[in-house]
Structure 1
């Protein structure tokens, strides 16, 4: 444990941005949700209709869990986002563990740290302290955030305990995964898959009659059984705490006996010789493919689920004209409720596709900083060819995310026989989102040309496009400001003609931004 305090200071500095965001995201989401739902369910009758309609739908019980209380808007807001927020918090804290535990080993930085007076389990201790502190703070703030929206103090306390329990269970899982897996990205993906699986198992237990025992097989199910709006019991939280303690103890045991930089599962060595012909595109696909696959599979799974919901969309809306108006406004004012829902979903997925494309630029930056780019550029590959290869891969990935999203919507709607639009119309709307998506991603490529530290501008562009594009009507952004966003110029419209002039403009802008990145790249050093 020697050197734990020094590593703790380093971990706090590393998390100085991510940790406050992780702490504030859940309470902020609850407050925003409560504010947006208040005009939709203003009286007890509208809330009772919700409990008798959408809340009894098996699909919504999988996603949101049971609705226990409709006395005020607070319990409804917690029901709408509580389990999603809990899953998000668990992924955030598992990522924090990996950033401070496995990532330094994967990059070789931990060798320098351990060469000093630092014990074998000190990195584990510092990572656990930071992650656990984040969890406790997020739980406390979440409980406090529900007080002004009509949640009683005792219920708010158990709600905070619920989030703390889920977060501690996630920490216990993540520290063990980081001892087993060698690559940091693989470790993070593995932890996220375990947590999402736990979320799904809990959902099946909530929705299938006679299968409630399944919730006891899931750490998130344990946290849900704290039941702040029902029985209010702390015993399931104790099970999460036991998982946390066992996970930390097991990870400490493994860390003290294994080789530094290795894991219990060693990565397979590559082929002894490269496959010809070797190309920058092939290298980019090989090095980024595993990280981009979750974007595509996630878009398909999410839209498949939305497609399944089309048969129940009227049950979700019920008699609430405000909810119907909100969905139709987000979907561009379409009079067809399902069509408006598809428009909204495709608009959000288009932002996710832009984020997937920007992540390709993030891989370029990481390769530059870790020296892998030097190996590639020492061959007959120019920096410009490498950037163009990355741009080509990013374009294909963005298009695949949108196409798979359209396929998920159509397949899901077909399975339940819902009143969805035709498959050709959905596919055309998805393809129409490719040019504005690439225009957003091109900002990151232009920023990369000026220096690796400017890649963050690409993520800022993604967030700005989300706020001004799909969410622009919801937040009341002025029209002149929304016109800056590519997805506001070319919104998703199922069954409508793709606007030709704006599509050409954003396509030209995308090409011009990549050209700017190439011009700047030729005039700077690699790092």
Structure 2
């Protein structure tokens, strides 16, 4: 444990930007949800209608959990955002842990640190402490924000236990994954898959009678069993804490005994020779393929769940005549189910843009490791190298939107919502989202081309595009502020007629950003 304090301060400094951004996003989503609930479900009758309508629907129970408590307002807010943000916190904590451990080891920095007077367990302990600090800060923010909404002291403690317990359990899974996987990508995929699988298993338990026992198989289900605003049972959260203790101990035990850089889950080595990687374009596809497949899997799974819910969205207006009148006035001939599908595709379009940022992060890592320079010393030109990866990024964005539409159509069809009309609507809406996705992706590529360190700004762009685009209506912002997001200008087809002007403008902006990136990459210093 020698020098663990220094590594702890270093880890906290590295996360000084990421942590505040995540906290701000979590808090803003919660406040926006609280504002929406206060307007839609202000009376006891409306809340009872919500409980007997959407709250009893299997699709909504799968996504949000059981709605057992409707008083105070904090209980409704916790139901609407709780399980989703709890799982999101678990994913963020897992990725932060891997970034502080296996990622540093993969890049060779851990070897430099361990060459000094640093104990073998210090990096693992420091990473665990950083993740715990992050989890506690987020859990505290998410619980304290409910006090003005009527939450009691016991309710606040229970909500804190939900978030903190899941974050600690996810940290433990990531600590172990970072020790057994040889790459950060495999460790991230393993840890995040465990968290998201727990969310899905918990959804099956909530939506299917006789499967309640599934909640006790994973930390997300344990968080639901805490039952804030009801039993306030902290025992399930203590189970997550026990998982953290065991996982951290196991990770430390492995770290003290394995070789630096070694692991059980290694990337499968390729053949010694191949004719399929004879061009930089083929190499870009092969190198980025596994990353794209992980995004495709996540987007398809989420779209499938959303499509499964789509036929049941009409029940949202049950018991709320005011909301029903507003929806009829706003939507006209369009159904609430159609608008729900368009809105969800807007969120998935933000995810498609985030894929581009993720890819530029990978390009920066390749350059930092010196592999980009090795490729460019061959007859491969800088222009061809950049355009090859730009092609993969933009094609990946289009593929993700197609996968999102396919997933929603399949889910809607299996749930009894029909096939032909949902397929036509999903195809039109997904196609309309592509220009905005390309703007975000090309902006991320341009940031990387100008200066590699600027790729981190891409995540701020994605968060801003989400808050100013699909979530703009929740914050009552001026129109000129919302117009900063490319997703604001996407035509809402098929509800609204197709408008070619914003589509053409966004395509021109994407082309200009791509040209800027190409020129900048050709001129700047590599490495």
Normalised TM-score (structure 2):
0.94
Corresponding position of 1:400: 399
Question: Does the 8 Å CA contact 1:26/1:89 hold for their aligned counterparts?
Answer: no
Question: Does the 8 Å CA contact 2:51/2:67 hold for their aligned counterparts?
Answer: yes
How far the C-alpha of 1:327 sits from its partner, in A, is 7.3
Decide whether aligned partners of structure 1 residues 325 and 453 sit closer, same or farther in structure 2, where only a CA change above 3 A counts: farther
Decide whether aligned partners of structure 1 residues 378 and 299 sit closer, same or farther in structure 2, where only a CA change above 3 A counts: same
1:66-465 equivalence runs, <5 A: 66-276=66-276, 278-320=278-320, 335-418=334-417, 421-465=421-465
Supply the RMSD in Å over aligned alpha carbons: 2.3
Question: Does the 8 Å CA contact 1:31/1:149 hold for their aligned counterparts?
Answer: no
Question: Does the 8 Å CA contact 1:120/1:255 hold for their aligned counterparts?
Answer: yes
Question: Does the 8 Å CA contact 2:5/2:126 hold for their aligned counterparts?
Answer: yes
Question: Does the 8 Å CA contact 1:398/1:434 hold for their aligned counterparts?
Answer: yes
Q: Within 2, Cα distance between the matches of 1:422 and 1:83?
A: 28
Decide whether aligned partners of structure 1 residues 137 and 472 sit closer, same or farther in structure 2, where only a CA change above 3 A counts: closer
Moved more, 203-212 or 496-505: 496-505
Match of 1:240, SS state, is helix
Match of 2:213, SS state, is helix
After superposition, the C-alpha distances for 1:27-75 in whole angstroms (9 at most, x for unaligned) are 4433332122110100111001111111111222221111121122110
Match of 2:30, SS state, is helix
How far the C-alpha of 1:326 sits from its partner, in A, is 8.0
Q: Within 2, Cα distance between the matches of 1:90 and 1:270?
A: 33
Decide whether aligned partners of structure 1 residues 28 and 466 sit closer, same or farther in structure 2, where only a CA change above 3 A counts: closer
Normalised TM-score (structure 1):
0.94
Q: Within 1, Cα distance between the matches of 2:246 and 2:489?
A: 53
Question: Does the 8 Å CA contact 2:94/2:171 hold for their aligned counterparts?
Answer: yes
Moved more, 156-165 or 393-402: 156-165
Question: Does the 8 Å CA contact 1:301/1:408 hold for their aligned counterparts?
Answer: yes
1:20-39 equivalence runs, <5 A: 20-23=20-23, 25-39=25-39
**Structure 1 unmatched ranges of 5 or more:** none
Question: Does the 8 Å CA contact 1:328/1:340 hold for their aligned counterparts?
Answer: no
Q: Within 1, Cα distance between the matches of 2:303 and 2:112?
A: 46
How far the C-alpha of 1:523 sits from its partner, in A, is 1.8
Moved more, 83-92 or 22-31: 22-31
Question: Does the 8 Å CA contact 2:352/2:397 hold for their aligned counterparts?
Answer: yes
Q: Within 2, Cα distance between the matches of 1:119 and 1:287?
A: 35
Match of 1:38, SS state, is helix
Decide whether aligned partners of structure 1 residues 492 and 293 sit closer, same or farther in structure 2, where only a CA change above 3 A counts: farther
Q: Within 2, Cα distance between the matches of 1:328 and 1:402?
A: 29
How far the C-alpha of 1:511 sits from its partner, in A, is 1.4
Question: Does the 8 Å CA contact 2:449/2:520 hold for their aligned counterparts?
Answer: yes
How far the C-alpha of 1:268 sits from its partner, in A, is 2.5
Decide whether aligned partners of structure 1 residues 427 and 381 sit closer, same or farther in structure 2, where only a CA change above 3 A counts: same
Moved more, 463-472 or 304-313: 463-472
4+ aligned runs moved over 6 Å, structure 1: 325-329, 331-334
How far the C-alpha of 1:98 sits from its partner, in A, is 0.9
Decide whether aligned partners of structure 1 residues 324 and 302 sit closer, same or farther in structure 2, where only a CA change above 3 A counts: farther
Q: Within 2, Cα distance between the matches of 1:277 and 1:104?
A: 29
Question: Does the 8 Å CA contact 1:105/1:111 hold for their aligned counterparts?
Answer: yes
How far the C-alpha of 1:322 sits from its partner, in A, is 5.9
Q: Within 2, Cα distance between the matches of 1:325 and 1:468?
A: 26
How far the C-alpha of 1:195 sits from its partner, in A, is 0.8
Decide whether aligned partners of structure 1 residues 503 and 134 sit closer, same or farther in structure 2, where only a CA change above 3 A counts: closer
Q: Within 1, Cα distance between the matches of 2:453 and 2:79?
A: 40
Q: Within 1, Cα distance between the matches of 2:266 and 2:317?
A: 50
Decide whether aligned partners of structure 1 residues 410 and 274 sit closer, same or farther in structure 2, where only a CA change above 3 A counts: same
Corresponding position of 1:516: 516
1:42-53 equivalence runs, <5 A: 42-53=42-53
Question: Does the 8 Å CA contact 2:158/2:228 hold for their aligned counterparts?
Answer: yes
Q: Within 2, Cα distance between the matches of 1:64 and 1:342?
A: 17
Q: Within 2, Cα distance between the matches of 1:434 and 1:490?
A: 9
Q: Within 1, Cα distance between the matches of 2:281 and 2:208?
A: 46
Matched, 1:3 2:3: yes
Q: Within 2, Cα distance between the matches of 1:477 and 1:326?
A: 20
Q: Within 2, Cα distance between the matches of 1:164 and 1:266?
A: 31
Question: Does the 8 Å CA contact 1:429/1:495 hold for their aligned counterparts?
Answer: no
Q: Within 2, Cα distance between the matches of 1:325 and 1:383?
A: 58
How far the C-alpha of 1:484 sits from its partner, in A, is 4.5
Q: Within 2, Cα distance between the matches of 1:277 and 1:245?
A: 45
After superposition, the C-alpha distances for 1:94-131 in whole angstroms (9 at most, x for unaligned) are 11211111111111101111111111111111111111
Question: Does the 8 Å CA contact 1:39/1:322 hold for their aligned counterparts?
Answer: no
How far the C-alpha of 1:402 sits from its partner, in A, is 0.9
